[in-house]
Amino acid sequence: MSDAPHVRPIRPGLYRVTLGNKSYEVALDIEPGEETTGVAFVDGAAVPVRWEDPLRRALAAAAGGGPTARSGAVTIAAPMPGRIVSVAVEAGAVVERGQVVIVLEAMKMESAIAAPHAGTVTEILVVPGQPVRQRQALLRIDSGV
Amino acid sequence: MFRRVLIANRGEIAVRIIRACHELGVEAVAVYSEADRDALHARLADYAYEIGPAPAAQSYLRADAMLEAARAAGAEAIHPGYGFLAENAGFAQACAAAGVVFVGPSPEALALMGDKLAARKLAAQVGVLTAPGTLEPVGDIDALAAAREIGFPLLIKAAAGGGGKGMRAVRSEEELITALTQARSEASSSFGEGSVYLERLIERPRHIEVQLFGDGRGRVVHLGERECSIQRRYQKVVEESPAPGLPTEVRARLWASAVRLAAAAKYGGAGTIEFLHEPSSGECYFLEMNARLQVEHPVTEQVTGVDLVQAQLRLAAGESLDDALGEYTVGGSAHAIEVRVSAEDPDGQWFPSTGTIQLLREPGGPGIRMDSACEPGLEVGVHYDPLLSKLIAWGRSRDEAIGRLRRALDEYILTGVRTTLPFHRWLVRDEGFLAGDFSTAFIAEQWRPEERAEPPPGVRGAAQAALMSQRDEQRRRRQVTPTGGASPTSAWRRAGRAEG
């Protein structure tokens, strides 16, 4: 077990990790919660990290895959807080991958939000002029897969 | 010199100007919005005045609040920084009427350069080349005719614009009307004025600008050029001085054109003239004049030796141009590069990111300058520009500057919000960038975050080990305090509790 990493917590989120005598500095930048996703900065290099509670994973597997099993449905969420400028599609519309579905204004810039894959718009959850929070659900698309 | 100066700004530039004041023995007066009560600039200043709620329109854009604070504080001058009121001719006029010195050009020069079309006309008069386009604002109907004459692709630009706001590239007639509507809407929400004009789109140009300093009576000197081609949606991301690999003849032409134009405008103080350089033809087209201190002014300071903010204050206080600038070097081999660290996610679509800064370690050491107002605990919100800090590296050559920049970027730690640091770390290792081979299309053409190389196993192992350690720590704490799960308490406070 000479290769087992040794972790020394320095401050919350900051660690010194040694593998033998090789030394790394790791800064963790993660969303708090049961399921952890985020970024670890290792001597500056960004490494995406993901950690799922083993118990929850086991329960989800027992329940037949859980909510993520509907792989064809995707919810588009606001990438940042702002205000909806326009909604370019209607419920029931068929959209292409990359097609602009919503225009959001934040920090005085208008940003177009595109469909991540082709599919049918099943639900529109916002109206033009509406302020939205970061990660608020805006629209659902089902690829029908 | 003034005894007391008010800084009508916030963030890193307010801190930068406070430093210049203190170096000159001048007292600094800060203003701050409700959102900035804990901000660094309000603490570093000698006096601080709250001027209104968080939205800029109710605080940092309020000319009356600035003048009221200046009067209450007994400030003799106001430095506007960049953005907000910096290029507002009405504000400069109001300062003059209130007997306060506006640290910047005259209201007339501001009005002239703020009107992009008037500036284009002046450039044409003094023989400075401009990109073909309209010299008047366009409506929907004449736009089509004008567009056909200029040819596609073309650019829609806001007459009152700057910083890429209200700007749209149009590649065909079909896109024109939609793009015009979008540009007008963005222009009126950003500048309160929606008129736009058309200009030929120069494909894959280099953005090069000349730093100027004028005495307001027709004498203008230049402090060399800056290369600002690394941009995203017309927002500069990286700037350097001098421009790498620029032919000597082109450089001399740029310097001379810029001085001629600013002298014709009787420009006073620090200003910048932007050009688009088309390497294929060797042409340089006048783009616009920024009648203010630029975000990227530090690269010029590091290679010339001039402290531009001190020079602005000296000139405004009545010193001559030569005394204000002091001795300086232009055209030497020294090189400086600045990267803008913004709260934007370069792996996504560069969307602004919000949050609270957790860990922060800003780099230092030889050849490194940090212009920043960041501190752990700082809330990065939606109300202001996402710029967090500027990291500037310099050396005797471009290679030396880049070596220092690369090292400093690897030392830089900032967590709690997504930042552009991963992009910068990639950039300083990219062969095209290292060779100085780039255009304003560089980011769009070269930045492929999804194709970034997998980190080596040791790095991944270290990341995973730290993550596991943190999870174990959290689980242990949860067992001790069963009600504490998913607590919104910050990591800092949790640490305090664990240690206390």
Quote the ipTM score: 0.85
Report how far residue A142's alpha carbon sits from residue B364's, in angstroms, rounded to the nearest whole number. 50
N- to C-terminal Cα separation, chain A: 46
Residue A27 lies in a domain: yes
Residue A18 lies in a domain: yes
Domain boundary pick from A43, A62, A81: A62
A chain contacts of residue B411, beta-carbon cutoff 8 Å? 44
CB-closest option in A17, A29, A42 to B416: A29
Chain B's closest residue to A22, CA to CA, is: B458
Q: Is residue A116 domain-shared with residue A89, that is, in the same domain?
A: yes
φ, ψ of residue B353 to 5 degrees: the values are -115, 140
Residues B409, B337 contacting (CB under 8 angstroms): no
Residue A1 lies in a domain: no
CA dist list (Å): B404 to A57, B360, B429: 45, 19, 12
Q: Which one of the listed residues B251, B292, B340, B369 is annotated catalytic?
A: B292
Interior CA angle at B280 toward B276 and B281, to 5°?
A: 75
Residue A31 lies in a domain: yes
CATH of the domain at A89: 2.40.50.100
Q: Is residue A77 domain-shared with residue A137, that is, in the same domain?
A: yes
Residue A137 lies in a domain: yes
CB-closest option in A19, A33, A107 to B462: A19
CB-closest option in B460, B469, B492 to A47: B460
Would you give per-residue pLDDT tens digits along chain B (500 residues)?
A: 999 999 999 999 999 999 999 999 999 999 999 999 999 999 999 999 999 999 999 999 999 999 999 999 999 999 999 999 999 999 999 999 999 999 999 999 999 988 888 999 999 999 999 999 988 898 877 889 999 999 999 999 988 876 677 888 999 999 998 899 989 988 888 778 888 999 999 989 999 999 999 999 999 999 999 999 999 988 999 999 999 999 999 999 999 999 999 999 999 999 999 999 999 889 999 999 999 999 999 999 999 999 999 999 999 999 999 999 999 999 999 999 999 999 999 987 898 899 999 999 999 999 999 999 999 999 999 899 999 999 999 999 999 999 999 999 999 999 999 999 999 999 999 999 999 999 999 999 999 988 878 889 999 999 999 999 988 888 888 776 544 444 444 444 444 444 33
Quickly list DSSP for B232-267: ETTEEEEEEES-TT--HHHHHHHHHHHHHHHHHTT-
Q: Is residue A51 domain-shared with residue A77, that is, in the same domain?
A: no
Residue A25 lies in a domain: yes
* Cis amide prior to A131 (ω within 30 degrees): no
Give chain A's domain count.
2
B389 vs chain A: nearest CA distance in angstroms?
17
Q: Is residue A43 domain-shared with residue A74, that is, in the same domain?
A: no
Chain A's closest residue to B344, CA to CA, is: A80
Q: Is residue A128 domain-shared with residue A97, that is, in the same domain?
A: yes
Name the burial class of residue B135, with classes exposed (0-12), middle (13-18) and buried (19+) by CB atoms within 10 angstroms of its CB.
exposed
CB-closest option in A13, A19, A40 to B491: A13
Residues B47, B27 contacting (CB under 8 angstroms): yes
Beta-carbon-side half-sphere exposure of residue A26 (alpha carbons within 13 Å):
35
Report how far residue B152's alpha carbon sits from residue B293's, in angstroms, rounded to the nearest whole number. 34
Tell me the torsion sign for CA atoms B1, B2, B8, B9.
positive
Residue A128 lies in a domain: yes
Chain B's closest residue to A34, CA to CA, is: B486
Q: Is residue A55 domain-shared with residue A86, that is, in the same domain?
A: no
Q: Is residue A29 domain-shared with residue A86, that is, in the same domain?
A: no
Chain B's closest residue to A39, CA to CA, is: B463
A chain contacts of residue B494, beta-carbon cutoff 8 Å? 12
Residue B94: its H or E element = helix B89-97
In this structure, the dihedral spanned by the alpha carbons of residues B179, B182, B183 and B188, taken in order and rounded to 10 degrees, is: 160
Q: Touching check for B185 and chain A: CB below 8 Å?
A: yes
A145 vs chain B: nearest CA distance in angstroms?
24
Report how far residue B46's alpha carbon sits from residue B324's, in angstroms, rounded to the nearest whole number. 24
B chain contacts of residue A25, beta-carbon cutoff 8 Å? 413
Q: What ranges make up the beta strands (E) of B149-234?
A: 154-158, 168-170, 196-200, 206-215, 220-232
φ, ψ of residue A114 to 5 degrees: the values are -105, 155
Q: Is residue A77 domain-shared with residue A136, that is, in the same domain?
A: yes
Name the burial class of residue B32, with classes exposed (0-12), middle (13-18) and buried (19+) by CB atoms within 10 angstroms of its CB.
buried
Q: Is residue A10 domain-shared with residue A56, that is, in the same domain?
A: yes
Residue A33 lies in a domain: yes
Q: Is residue A124 domain-shared with residue A94, that is, in the same domain?
A: yes
Contact state of A5 with B455 under an 8 Å Cβ cutoff: no
CA dist list (Å): B50 to B38, B372, B452: 11, 21, 45
B chain contacts of residue A12, beta-carbon cutoff 8 Å? 358, 491-492, 494-495
- Give residues 367 to 406 of B whose Cβ lies within 8 Å of A: 382, 384-386
pTM: 0.84
Q: Is residue A43 domain-shared with residue A16, that is, in the same domain?
A: yes
Give the closest residue to B422 by CA, choosing from B493, B348, B318, B369. Answer: B348
Neighbours of A4 (CB within 10 A): 10
Q: Is residue A12 domain-shared with residue A32, that is, in the same domain?
A: yes
B292 labelled catalytic: yes
Contact state of B382 with A105 under an 8 Å Cβ cutoff: no
Give me the domain span that covers residue A125: 70-142
CB-closest option in A9, A22, A27 to B469: A9
DSSP state of B482: G
B chain contacts of residue A34, beta-carbon cutoff 8 Å? 486
A60 vs chain B: nearest CA distance in angstroms?
20
